[in-house]
Amino acid sequence: MSDTLVGLVSHYSPSGEERRAVDWLVARMKSLGYDEAFIDEAGNAVGVMGSGGKQIVLLGHIDTVPGEIPVHVDNGILYGRGSVDAKGPLACFVDSVAKVGVRDGWQFVVIGSVEEERNSEGARFIVDQYQPDFAIIGEPNQWNRIALGYKGSAWANVTVKRGQVHSASGEETAAEAAVEIWLKIKAYVDSFNADKLKVFDKLLLTLRGMDSDSKDFEQWAKLKIGVRLPVEVSPEDWYAKLHKIIGDSDLEKVGCAVPAWRCEKNNQMVRSLLSGIRSQGGEPRFVYKTGTADLNIVAPVWNCPALVYGPGDSALDHTPNEHVHLSEYQKAVNVLAVSLEKLTGGRISSKDKM
């Protein structure tokens, strides 16, 4: 049951270099009996099982951060880049759907998307290609936990410019002005967070870098600012607040900002996952994450019940010691298979109802 996982992890695929892994996964899904398996126009790996009128999309990502780790299994533990983030969850989707097979009236679509670790180009492409009844997003949160929310993010550069002055003049330099702006931004964030008890509801601010220089008659200083956003603050809200704080300094938006997203807790899909976890002897838990995921891209558009599931310890994301226990992977495959069976026609125990 770990052949899909080991094979996928063995094909190193940092963002922008996913093709070999995509080719392998498409071939793997064909060998597992998927009705269709192909590469879409964005380069995503797509597998389809069944042709019913109701659809469940299982969206994982096939790219990883850079940094190849020798792939090996030691004492039941698989080491390798992507074993946790997020080939473990993606392989779990592939194996679970293969285990469940065709369900009358339903269609499963498994997608290994590209570029998630950069600007989610794969997810941005598929968001208009499907309109599922249910969506499961693959990220590592351990086999017995369900993630129901991910924070948003927004990145910006703030540049302060000043006329050139003599160092003995006592006038404020561009670098000094930039530090003052940073302190104002931080003070606003501290004030916003003062009455927030949960990290998921807070603004999480980071100063990612600072540069300064001068040329001829001008000096400048640049702040590289990142923030993780709560549900109540949209990227537009955040940029508007930054504009107000920085005054006439320059604001440059960087990358693709995404809003936070909180999933509904009381629905049939969540109940099916609770039942699946309990079927394997687990006590399910809900978590809300401080990072972002493809959930943030697709959920607002699809507007269907959605959640995030997948084996692996997210504390190992992007680390040189990334690994997953094969026993945990097996449990996750079984959990999801049971859940999909219940979601597509099986009975759900009363103790799993909210």
Cβ atoms within 10 A of the Cβ of 64, count? 29
Tell me how crowded residue 221 is: count the other CB atoms within 10 A of its CB: 24
CA distance 86 to 171: 51
Closest CA to 310 of 125, 136, 57: 136
CB-CB contact of 322 with 84 (8 Å): yes
Q: Which long-range contacts (CB under 8 A, 24 or more apart) does 186-191 make?
A: 188/241, 188/245, 189/227
- Give the single-character DSSP code of 351: G
Answer yes or no: 63 catalytic.
Answer: yes
* Nearest Cα to Cα of residue 106 among 252, 269, 320, 299: 269
Per the annotation, the verdict on 172 as an active-site residue is: no
Q: Torsion over CA of 26, 61, 308 and 203, rounded to 10 degrees?
A: -170
User: Which helix (H) or strand (E) element contains residue 37?
Assistant: strand 36-39
Tokens describing residue 317:
């994301």
Contact call for residues 5 and 329 (beta carbons, < 8 A): yes
CA 302 remoteness from chain centre = 16
32 DSSP 8-state letter: T
- Choose, from 85, 95, 115, 116, the residue flagged as catalytic: 116
Instruction: Check 63, 95, 139, 328 and give the catalytic one.
Output: 63
Residues in the chain, how many?
354
Among residues 241, 242, 235, the alpha carbon closest in space to that of 157 is found at 242
Taking the alpha carbons at both ends of the chain, their separation in whole angstroms is: 32
Q: Could you tell me which of 147, 135, 141 has the C-alpha nearest to residue 304?
A: 135
Distance of CA 279 to the CA centre of its chain: 27
Catalytic residues: 63, 116
